[in-house]
Amino acid sequence: MAEFIRIYEENPNPAAIENVVAILKRGGLIIYPTDSVYGLGCDITNIKALERIAKIKQVKLEKANFSFVCHDLSNLSDYVKQIDTSTFKILKRALPGAYTFILPGAKTLPNPFKKRKTVGIRVPNNNIALDIVRQLGNPIISTSIHDEDEVLEYTTDPELILEKWGDKVDLVIDGGYGDNEPSTIIDLSGDDPVIIREGKGSLEIF
């Protein structure tokens, strides 16, 4: 059964964050809070962990639409091709926030994603998620955890998440009740922004 720890979003406990990072570095899978729905994540550099997530989601790793969760835009060039000024301004206005931005992928992407033309970038407005990624030193791969219940779609109660996912992951973080509205997905890889999914993030950034 997965470890279950409470971390407060207002002031995340550094020792608790260190524990999470140690689990990620060992190839562990975590379920953690974001500024929208709870996410399933692992260290982007750990192939075995990536394969575990792909298996859980029943997708081929190379074709999986996982987001890269970053703590800010400083390391963007490691994963994204050079972007123009107007695109960067949109990112600066929106992030951190409940958005996933589709951007052109760089040649330096980790091996499983080398053939991808685009990547989804997230900088969630949640101190727990940001502290984890900052301490880890590189992004985590993330995907939303869906509920089989078609009415709910997303489980918001961490204890229920533990019940459903505790045998599949190594750690569930209780960061309080999650949201049941996912991030807004915006494709910025072409000439004009394209709204893929309208979610929690406001479209007033344009």
Mean pLDDT within 1-22: 97
Averaged pLDDT for residues 176-184: 92
Percent of the chain with pLDDT over 90: 81
Residue 205 has pLDDT above 90, yes or no: no
| Tokens matching residue 58 | 């029943």
**pLDDT band for position 10 (cuts 50, 70, 90):** very high
Q: Which two tokens stand for residue 117?
A: 């033309």
Cα separation, 183 vs 181, in Å, equals: 7
pLDDT at 145: 85
Q: What percent of the chain has pLDDT over 70?
A: 97
Kindly tell me the burial class for residue 51, based on how many C-beta atoms sit within 10 Å of its own C-beta (0-12, 13-18, 19 or more). Answer: middle
Give the pLDDT confidence score for residue 151 in this predicted structure.
52
**Domain hosting residue 88, numbered range:** 3-205
95 pLDDT more than 70: yes
What CATH number is given to the structural domain containing 46?
A: 3.90.870.10
Q: Which of 38-52, 56-70, 136-150 has the highest mean pLDDT?
A: 38-52
Predicted confidence band of residue 150 (pLDDT cuts 50, 70, 90): low
How far apart are the C-alpha atoms of 14 and 9, rounded to whole Å? 12
pLDDT value of residue 9: 96
The mean pLDDT of 51-68, rounded to a whole number, is 92
In this prediction, residues 38-47 reach a mean pLDDT of 96
Q: Is the pLDDT of residue 152 over 60?
A: no
Q: What is the pLDDT, as a whole number, of residue 114?
A: 87
Cα gap 6→171, rounded to integer Å: 11
- pLDDT of 25 strictly over 70: yes
Our count of domains for the chain comes to: 1
